[in-house]
Amino acid sequence: MKIGDRVRIIESVIVYHHPEHKKQPFDLKGMEGEIIDIVTTWQGRPVSANLPVLVQFEKRFKAHFRDNEVEVTEVAEK
């Protein structure tokens, strides 16, 4: 799994910040997006983030996930 890979959410993940469902529970299971970052550092220091995989779904919506909550559907080319 690396930046640029297309992924699908395989676990039920409830969020409250989806732009079309503000302040309401929304399940992301089955949605597809692109990995835009894997959080390993913060302000130049190494961190062990609980939700390290940052996925962009739409222009205005992105969310963090654990490794076991996503599956790669399309590998990014180098």
Q: What is the domain partition of the chain in residue ranges?
A: 6-74
pLDDT at res. 45: 93
Write the pLDDT tens digit of every residue in 4-60. 999 999 999 999 999 999 899 999 999 999 999 999 998 999 998 899 999 999 889
Weakest-pLDDT range from 21-25, 38-42, 68-72, 74-78: 74-78
The two tokens of residue 73 are 């559907």
- Which residues lie across from 63 on neighbouring strands? 55
In this prediction the pTM is 0.87
Q: Quick check: 78 pLDDT over 80?
A: no
Fold of 6-74: SH3 type barrels. (2.30.30)
